[in-house]
Chain A
Amino acid sequence: MTAQRTAPRQPPGGVNLLVWLVGAAAAFLLLFFVITLILRRIPDPIGPRADLFVQGARMTLQLTLVSGLIGLVIGILVGIARTSAVWLVRAPAGLFVWLVRGTPLLVQILFVYNALPPLLQSVGIRLELNEFWSAVIALALNVGAYNAEVIRAGILAIPRGQGEAARSLGLSGGQTMNTIILPQALRIVVPPLVNNLVALLKDSSLASSIALLELTLAGSRVSSETFLPIPVLTTVACVYLALTTVMTLFTDQLEKRVKIATR
């Protein structure tokens, strides 16, 4: 930005991150504009139905961002709980990761959509889950479990001596975690978290099985109407690629910004 070149790099400030967020939002808006323009110029079967593809792509991105954010919060909470010294905190977190990682995402999505509402109703909770929120719950829990393991690895990567030094200086356990361990761990885990986010964007295609009109279902609607799977699937794949490419461009920037000169 405007910092003197000789000064050591500042850790990311609020303004810095805000600029990054606005940039990412603008880039995606531009991307959708460009995708619309390009798709409209492709001949039948794509051109006349370009809006359907764009609508699907928008839903895919919404799904990814909402469940990615919730999944990040879940991941941090569960990841910290997994490293706790108290068995009562560790066990439920371990159980959650075991359950979610050990079952297929498609089954989880179908379970939340078809089985969760009647199950909740039988215990007296009336919950109306539409397609979007069913998919968000399943995807957020799923990516949350994977994020938790990443966060745990990040915490364990910080040398024990740091925690011990902080404790011997009189910091409490919580303070040590918040001011010494997590700030360092979160920098380590940015690349694997980005990995999970990109995987999440692609996994969101499984939400097509519960009639949520995202990119994959938009494609299968067109291909079952025109019987032309090749151009349709090629288009769908290209749009996914465009989405993940723009996403990784910005997460690479984020990585650069949170990086601090290592020892």
Chain B
Amino acid sequence: MKKALLTLTALTLLASAAQARTWDEIKKSGTVRIATEGAFPPFNLLKGNQLTGFEVDLANALAKGMGLKVQWVTQPFDNLLIGLNQDRYDFVIASHGITPERARAVDFSNPHYCTGGSIVSRVGGPKTAADLKGKTVAVQVGTTYLQNVQKVPGVGSVKTFPKDTDAQAALLAGRTDAWVGDKFTGLDLVKAQKGKLVQGDLLFNERIGMAVKKGNSSLLRELNAALTKAQQDGTYAKISNQYFGQDIRCR
């Protein structure tokens, strides 16, 4: 038993062996490797082989501002931060809400937008946190929505899906009473499903940031500088308006 524990601890320590690429190394190579999920409309979405979305356009603009070419990597959401700590890419932009647990594992940039988790249900379904009593809710695995839904008193069962789009499909198929996810994604979903779904209350608010490997401060500094510059020179507002008809930066 003791031996097994020792082995497990040793294995855990092995997890953080390699070194992240610093800003100088990235600058020298001329290409930044960015990871996202590609299944989270309208923020990052794969249309065929084409990555699009607000965050994709924003990251491309930031990289351009830093004078770098971009190499995109797509990964399942719950693998993104794990892969970041294994240096498979330089930073992640995939609508990660900034939470204390995540901040222990990675370093976050300044928030690149602010949002909240909203309830979406079929017409006549639950609309407030109190309505969720005894109901089944679909969420995506590894998200802040899962943690926040589990905090709702009396909530029935929570089903976790690998992709957010799978969780939405479960709601549409009548397998769950509600779906909890990003409020902008919810807006898009309600719009796309003309009249079938309604958006309810916000369960919580969150700040969304980009993640770099723990301790990669040189890259973090450059990212924050590029973001501030884009928010000042109108680049950010232009991209945001194109997707949402409003500026969604944190105020």
Contacts and interface: CB of A to CB of B under 8 A. Distances in A.
B12 A114 contact: no
A46 to B, nearest CB: 8
Interface stretch (A72-80, A174-182, A229-237): A229-237
B160 A221 contact: yes
A211 B159 contact: yes
B1 A231 contact: no
B170 interface: yes
Given A217-B160, A230-B11, A231-B8, A211 B166 contact: yes
B82 A229 contact: yes
Interface size on B, as a range, is 20 to 34
B142 A209 contact: no
A117 B173 contact: yes
Interface string A99-142: 00000000000000010011000000000001100000000000
A180 B184 CA distance: 68
B170 A211 contact: yes
Contacts of B78: 220, 223-224
A220 B15 contact: no
A43 B141 contact: no
A220 B8 contact: no
Given A209-B162, A221-B141, A223-B78, A43 B15 contact: no
Contacts of A224: 77-79, 82, 141-142
A131 B138 CA distance: 12
A228 B12 contact: yes
Interface string A209-227: 1110100010011011111
Contacts of A225: 101, 142, 147
B68 interface: no
B81 interface: yes
B8 A42 contact: yes
Given A220-B141, A230-B11, A42 B159 contact: no
Greatest chain B CB density within 10 A among A210, A211, A228, A229 is at: A211
Given A42-B8, A217-B141, A221-B142, A227 B105 contact: yes
B1 A38 contact: yes
A41 B85 CA distance: 27
Contacts of B161: 210-211
A206 to B, nearest CB: 11
B143 to A, nearest CB: 8
A117 B8 CA distance: 44
B12 A230 contact: yes
Nearest to A218: B160
Contacts of A38: 1
Interface residues of A, number: 27
A211 B160 CA distance: 5
B64 interface: no
Contacts of B77: 224
Interface in B1-43: 1, 5, 8-9, 11-12, 14-15
A205 B8 CA distance: 23
B169 to A, nearest CB: 7
B175 interface: yes
Contacts of B14: 230
B17 to A, nearest CB: 11
Contacts of B141: 217, 220-221, 224
Contacts of A43: 5, 9
Contacts of A227: 81-82, 85, 102, 105-106
A136 to B, nearest CB: 16
Nearest to B170: A211
A211 B14 CA distance: 31
A155 B91 CA distance: 59
Contact of A223 (B9, B82, B159): B82
B145 to A, nearest CB: 12
Interface of B: 1, 5, 8-9, 11-12, 14-15, 77-79, 81-82, 85, 101-102, 105-106, 138, 141-142, 146-147, 159-162, 166-167, 169-170, 173, 175
12 contacts: A42-B8, A43-B9, A114-B173, A117-B173, A130-B175, A208-B162, A211-B160, A211-B170, A217-B141, A217-B160, A224-B141, A234-B11
Given A131-B159, A209-B162, A231-B8, 13 more contacts: A43-B5, A208-B162, A210-B161, A211-B159, A211-B170, A220-B142, A223-B78, A224-B141, A225-B147, A228-B12, A229-B15, A230-B11, A234-B11
